Amino acid sequence: MPLLKDVIAQFKSSFQYLDAENRRKTFWYEFWLNDFTKELLTNTKLTTELEQAAKKCVEQLDELSGQHIEEPFASHQDAFFKIIVATLRTVQLQRFKSGTEKTENYQKDQHYVMERILYPKKEGLFEEQLINGLNSVKETFPELSSIMEQKILHIVEAKPKPFVLFHENMKFGDNGNKFFTTDGRTRTIEDVTDAVDEQLKHV
């Protein structure tokens, strides 16, 4: 069984979201863009939040490694994955905060439905690099292949889904009157936390 410090070092070697200055690594195509265009195409606030999440993740892993420097990974794998999940949770919540609200209307059977839906910002480089790190551990330490594959699968399955803020249902009665039903109170961005936690509970 590999040592905790070796697993963490391997994960970090492939979790390449940050550059040497703790900034998001530049996409290859951004080298061809001028500063104004890059600023226009980048969600600066979200990027800053993800940079902080990546930095905190690495710092916590380094701290864990330093505390148990010659101990096997198996003894501390729960603590390792707890850091990964907490990082992913932070990132998903930030993607919702930077998301887009849309109103959708549709008919289903004899019901007319109106929903207000929050669409999270699409997953991107951060999640890709997080999975790269776990894949690197899986390939380097075959004895950890099963647990890493399981965690990667759960992370993929736990990607944030559109969140219904409000749902109203209307149908016509036999006498032509309209009957309205709702699913309760209007939800807000604060309610997204419970949905994210539910998605991540199996990771």
pTM for the model stands at 0.83
Going by their DSSP bridges, the two strands 100-108 and 111-119 should be labelled as antiparallel
- State pLDDT tens for residues 74-84: 999 999 999 99
Q: Side-chain half-sphere of 57: how many Cα atoms within 13 Å?
A: 32
Which positions ≥6 away from 193 have C-beta within 8 Å? 93
pLDDT at 184 over 80: no
Average pLDDT score over residue span 42-59: 88
How many residues in total does the chain contain?
203
Q: Which residues make beta-bridge pairs with 111?
A: 108
**Tokens found for residue 59:** 């710092």
Which residue, among 8, 138, 146, has the nearest Cα to 80 in the 3D structure? 8
3-state secondary structure of 2: coil
- pLDDT per residue over 98-149, tens digit each? 999 999 998 888 788 999 999 999 998 899 999 999 999 999 999 999 999 9
Measured CA to CA in angstroms, residue 92 lies from 52, 97, 143 at distances of 13, 9, 30
